[in-house]
Structure 1
Amino acid sequence: MTNTTALPQMLYFTDPGLREQIEALPEETALIGISTTGRAIAVDLDAESPHVLVCTATGGGSTTMLRSLTAQFLHQGAHALVLDPKRISHLWAKSLPTVTHRGNTAGIHDALVHLASELERRLDLEGDLDDVPRLIVAIDAGTTTLQALARYWEKFRQSDDPKTSPAIAGLEEALWAGRAARVHVIFNRRPSAGVLGPGAREQFATVILSRFSADTWQLLAPMAGPAPNQSKSPGRFHVIQQGDVHETQALLMSDADVVNWLTDRTDSAS
C-alpha cells in the first residue's frame, strides 16, 4: 500500500532546494515529480523514453506538464519547437531564443515539414551529433492539431501530391527515428490511429495520465493492469514506465518561473 500522505499538496519549482536538485540531473533527464512513496520520477530520453505522451481531461494539467518538461531540457542546452494551437497556452516560449513557437495551422504545418528536413540532416550525420543540440518537439492539443493539419492539407494539396500531409508524415518519422537523431516528441492528448500510423502509441515509452477514463487507460497503458483509482489532489498524475505505475505529484513551473530560470545570466548551467 502506498503512503499517500508522503507528499505536499503541491510541488512548486520554487520550493526550497528543488531547483538545485533539478539542475543536478543528468543532461537527458527531466523530473516529472515525486511519487507517493517519496521517489523522484523522471523521464530519461536516452534510455527507455525517446518520446513522452501526456493525456488528461480538460484542466488536468497537461499543458503545465509540457511546459515543465520542455523547460528542463532547454536548461540543459536543448532547442525546442513548441506547437501551441490555442496560441496562448505557451506564451513563455515566445521570449526564448532557442525556442520556435508556432500557433496557427499554416505555421505548424511549415514547422513540421521543416522538422522532416532537419531529421534527415541529422540522420545523415550517422551518429556524429556531439555538437548538435537535442531538439524537443512539444505538441499541445495534439489530436486537434493533427486533425487540423489533415484538413489543411486536403484544402491545398494538388492531384499529384501525396495523400498524407507532409507535416503529419514528418511527425511520424520523428517518432520512429527520433532517438537516432536526438529529436524527442512530447505529445499532449490521446494520439489518434486514424491520423498517426497504427504503431505511434508504441513509440511513447513514458505515459503520463490524469483525469483519465477507463477506456483511455486501457488504450494508453494496457500493460499496466486495470485502471487505478484517481486521486483528487491537484497536480497528481499516474506515470507509466515499462509497465510500472507511479502515482506522482507533478512539478509545477509557471510561465514566469520558466522565463526567469532560462534567462538568468548568473546561472552557470548549460
Structure 2
Amino acid sequence: MTTTTTLPQVLHFTDPGLREQLEALPASTALIGIGTDGTAIAVDVDNAPHILVCTGTGGGSTTILRTLTAQFLHQGAHALVLDTPRISHLWATELPTVTHRGNVAGIHDALVGLDIELKRRIDLIDLDGDLDDVPRLMVVFDRADDTLRHLARYWETFRQEGEPKKSPAITALEEVLHEGRQARIHVLYNGRASGGGLTPSAREQFATVILSRVSAGTWQRLAPIAGPAPKPSPHPGRVHVVQDRTAHQTQAILLTDAEAADWLTATAAGEI
C-alpha cells in the first residue's frame, strides 16, 4: 500500500484535458481518478465486471457512481438505476438510455426483469457466439444494503405457499453478479454488501472496491487482502481503490449532476 502521495488536491471534470482523456478511453473502461505520481486509476469491466463503492458520511459514494455511470453511458452503454432516495440520480432520469426505478415495488420488478434479460443475452451468445450488437448494461444500485432489506420484507408481504422464501429480486441480483460478465451486465453497488441476503459467493464478485472514510472493521471485511486500514481522509474526493490485492490512494473525479446531464445530452444529440 502506498503511504506517501503526491495526489492532486481536487480533480474536476472541467479540468483542462480531463474530458478529452475520458472520451479517449476504450468502451469497457472508466477512469476513477488519479493516483500517486499522476497514475491513472481506472476500471475495465471486461476484466473486473462489478464495482463496490463504500464510503462513510460525506465520502462521495453517489458522486463516484455518477462519474462512472456517465462514462459508460457516453461510451454507448445503457443503465438501470435503482435509487430508493429517488433524488440521488435525477441527472439520469431524462436520458433515453437510462431506466430509473425508485420505489421498492419498481426495483423488485426491475431486478426480476433483469434476470430475464441476463438469460436472453446468454441464449444469444449460445446462438451467435457474441453480443456485439447488444449494448452494455450498467446496473447502478444506490443505497443497496437498505434496499435489499426492503426487498426481502416486500417479498414476504405477498409470497404464496410453495414459492421460495428468498426474494426473487435478490436471487436475480446474485445471478447477475455471477454471470453478468459474459452477458455484458455490470453492477455498480453502493454499500457494504453485508446482510440483505446476498450470499458470500455473490459478495466475492466485486473485483474493484472503492473505499473512503470507512472504519477499520469495514476495511477488513471488504479489503482484507490489501493490508491494514489506512487513516481516513477528510479531503473531498480522496478514496482508496482496491484492485488485484493492492490499495491505490486516489483523488476521484468530481462530476456534478449538471455536468453529467449536459455531457450525455450532447452525446445523445451527436454533438460529441
Q: TM-score normalized by structure 1?
A: 0.96
C-alpha contact (below 8 Å) 1:79/1:98 kept by paired residues: yes
Q: State the distance in 1 between where 2:179 and 2:270 align.
A: 36
- Equivalences, count: 266
Residue 111 of structure 1 corresponds to 110
Q: Which moved more, 1:198-207 or 1:106-115?
A: 198-207
Q: State the distance in 1 between where 2:4 and 2:150 align.
A: 43
User: For residue 158 of structure 2, what is the amino acid of its counterpart?
Assistant: F
Shift of residue 193, structure 1, vs aligned partner: 4.5
2:76 counterpart of 1:77: yes
Match of 1:231 among 216, 233, 238: 233
User: For residue 257 of structure 1, what is the amino acid of its counterpart?
Assistant: E
CA RMSD of aligned residues (A): 1.2
Residue 260 of structure 2 corresponds to 258
C-alpha contact (below 8 Å) 1:201/1:220 kept by paired residues: no
User: For residue 231 of structure 1, what is the amino acid of its counterpart?
Assistant: S
Q: State the distance in 1 between where 2:77 and 2:131 align.
A: 13
**Per-residue displacement from partner, 1:117-149 (whole Å, max 9, x unpaired)?**
000000111242000000000000010010000
User: For residue 12 of structure 1, what is the amino acid of its counterpart?
Assistant: H
Unaligned segments of structure 2, at least 5 residues: none
**Per-residue displacement from partner, 1:85-119 (whole Å, max 9, x unpaired)?**
00111101111000000000001001001000000
2:43 counterpart of 1:43: yes
C-alpha contact (below 8 Å) 1:81/1:137 kept by paired residues: yes
Percent identity at matched positions? 68
Match of 1:184 among 170, 183, 186: 186
Unaligned segments of structure 1, at least 5 residues: none
Shift of residue 10, structure 1, vs aligned partner: 1.5
User: For residue 55 of structure 1, what is the amino acid of its counterpart?
Assistant: C
Name the SS for the 2:34 alignment partner.
Answer: strand
Q: State the distance in 2 between where 1:176 and 1:142 align.
A: 17
Name the SS for the 1:95 alignment partner.
Answer: coil
Name the SS for the 2:30 alignment partner.
Answer: strand
Q: State the distance in 2 between where 1:163 and 1:2 align.
A: 47
Residue 165 of structure 2 corresponds to 163
User: For residue 245 of structure 1, what is the amino acid of its counterpart?
Assistant: A
Shift of residue 201, structure 1, vs aligned partner: 2.2
Change (3 A) 1:36 1:230: farther
C-alpha contact (below 8 Å) 2:146/2:196 kept by paired residues: no
Shift of residue 8, structure 1, vs aligned partner: 3.0
Q: State the distance in 2 between where 1:254 and 1:44 align.
A: 23
Q: State the distance in 1 between where 2:212 and 2:53 align.
A: 8
Q: Which runs of structure 2 are paired with 1:79-158 in the superposition (5 Å)?
A: 79-126=78-125, 127-158=129-160
